[in-house]
Amino acid sequence: MFFRCSVCSARQMKLFFIASLFVILVVYAPASKVFAISEEGFNEAYDTLVVPMYENGVFGEFEGCGGVRIRYAAFEQDNETGALVILHGKSESYIKYAELVYDLKDLGLSCYLMDHRGFGFSERLLSDDPQKTHVGRFDEYVADVKTFIDTVVQPHRHSRVFLLAHSLGGCIAARYLETHPGDITAAVLSAPMLQINTGSYPQTIAYAIAFAATARGKGTEYALGQGPRDEPRFEKNITTHSYARWSKWEEDLIPAYPQIRSGGATYNWVKESMEAGWLARKQAAKIATPLLIFQAEEDLFVTANGQHEFCEAAQDCTKVFFHGARHEILMETDSIRNIALGMIRAFFRGYLYSP
């Protein structure tokens, strides 16, 4: 099995059963009929299917918290069933999720994506080194999402708004759901960054180092062990087992758009992100929005304990464990990713036509 369910109510078990039917379809139906893009012939399919869709998107910007310019992309559908907001992870950009938008088009949802402040095509925050992953306050990420939904997404008066977020985006989504209840119909958080994996440093020590460095005026400096982006090598990557999807991002998209390149985190980013994860876990009981959380077995970036604590506390949360998956479940090999996509479809469809 690639997954298992925990913290499930009777209603969630019913939903999980529905999702399992989609898994059966993935396993036994021809892949070409279920998923438009696969690793076999990936580049050709990407160029002929994904690129034209992406180029027909609507691209713009809005003023985020503190006047920071935030870039976004919108892919609207006629006769839509609602809206889907996608939030990317650390050091990513909305362009990385073009394939995902294409693969989920059968849901009939208009898709809206934004680059968080300091990432992708959005305005960078530090002039001395634009590659630095930095933020003043974590809540600025959340405020930007609120502005995005209020000024870009909801002027279209969507009947439902769904949320799909990865890693850093998952923590931002958690804080959004805690502070803006009622905005989102249902949400999927893939490998959410609810507790950073601090490696050989205990959580308290890692936080103390980041806090102390920031207090000494070094908050904009690279944190211990962090630095500019290294030249990519697939055999050294710890994010995905899929060479096709790894290569599209690392060897095609980033070289084509060098402005989206990002490096390591600053001390203040580490401090703010650890505090945000702690706060998200502490206040998870406030979330009534139905949640589906994906957890990766081989995740070296975030901890399973943080995700479990959060899901246990939330009012309506299902956690799915993916055996053999690395951190980027949505960019994994077909055998893993197709199951994740099937479960996303089943989960959102369960709320598409509800009152």
pLDDT for res 165: 98
pLDDT for res 240: 98
Please tell me the distance from the alpha carbon of residue 30 to that of residue 17, in angstroms, as a whole number.
Answer: 21
- The enclosing domain of 28 has a CATH number of 3.40.50.1820
Number of residues that this document lists for the chain: 355
pLDDT per residue as tens digits for the range 310-353: 999 999 999 999 999 999 999 999 999 999 999 999 999 999 97
The encoded tokens of residue 232 equal: 């990519």
pLDDT for res 20: 52
The range of the structural domain enclosing residue 277 comes to 5-352
pTM, whole model, 2 decimals? 0.92
pLDDT for res 16: 52
Cα 319 to its chain centre, rounded Å, is 16
Give per-residue burial for 164-182: e unless 16+ CB within 10 Å, then b: bbbbbbbbbbbbbbbeeee
pLDDT for res 269: 98
Query: How many structural domains are present in the chain?
Result: 1
Show the low-confidence residues of the chain (pLDDT under 70).
Answer: 1-36, 354-355
Cα 262 to its chain centre, rounded Å, is 16
pLDDT for res 353: 77
pLDDT for res 7: 46
Beta bridge partners of 165: 87, 189
pLDDT for res 85: 98
